[in-house]
Each structure stands twice: as C-alpha cells, then as structure tokens.
Amino acid sequence: MRLALAEAVLAPGTGDVPVGAVVLDARGEVVGRGHNEREATGDPTAHAEVLAVREAARAVGEWRLSGCTLVVTLEPCTMCAGAIVLSRVDRVVYGARDTKSGAAGSLWDVVRDRRLNHRPEVVAGVLEDECAGLLTRFFRG
C-alpha cells in the first residue's frame, strides 16, 4: 500500500484526485503502476487502476493477470471493477472505502458478483486512515 500511496501523491500535481495503484505479480514484484491522470490527459478512463492494469499487461505480455494483486488507495469504481474482473486479477487490496461510487463492497460489489466468470479476493481497509486522509486534504484544498 505504501507504493500505491507514493503513486497517489503524484496525481495532485496535475489537478488529479490523489489515487494510486500498483500491480504485483505472483512473486510480489511490481509489474504495473498508475495514478489518476484524467485531468492531465483529458481521458475519462485514466484512473489509477486502469493505468496500472494496462502497464502490468504490457509487462506480463498478455491481458490475463492471473496470480497478480492490485493494490489501490481508494476502493475501485464500477469501471475499474470491470477492468479488474476482465483482466483476471486474483486479489484486490484497497485502502479507503468509497461509499459514493465504490464497486468492491461499499455501494456495489461488482468484483464479487456471482454472475460473473471471475471473482477476485478483496482485502479492504489497508492503511485506510492514511489513504482517506490524502483524499480529505485534497478536497479541502
């Protein structure tokens, strides 16, 4: 989570919300990193999770990220939850809950929906206060 937090602090430099993510392979090596870049790129899909998953797929050499863990500072939204399921990530670890748009247990539970063909393990609340504090400070300005 500390690596994801290090990514998150890069986002506000471009006016982006401080969310960071890393993807770890089965050995625990970082194969993907990302932080929000929507404002920086004008791309509505440039969420930390999506960017980290894209980089991980390039590093691994395929779209299936079986054996990988995604670590992110904020609970994934529905778009990111869909990308997580489709990429076959085995585990999602997140810090702060997102009761307004979270899709890994708070508002929705897309990643564990029994109707889908892949359901990663979810570990919530890792360094939650630190992750939430980063967001609170950003929005308070």
User: Does 68 appear as a known binding residue?
Assistant: no
Of 21, 44, 25, 43, the residue nearest 33 (C-alpha) = 21
Residue with tokens 């609340």: 125
Give the torsion sign (CA, 88, 77, 79, 36).
negative
* 131 among annotated binding-site residues: no
- Please confirm, yes or no, whether 49 is among the known catalytic residues: yes
Q: Are the C-beta atoms of residues 72 and 51 closer than 8 Å to each other?
A: no
Terminal-to-terminal C-alpha distance of the chain = 24
Catalytic residue among 37, 49, 55, 75: 49
Q: Is 47 annotated as a binding residue?
A: yes
Positions marked catalytic: 49
Q: What residues form the annotated binding site? A: 47, 77, 80
Annotated binding site for Zn(2+): 47, 77, 80
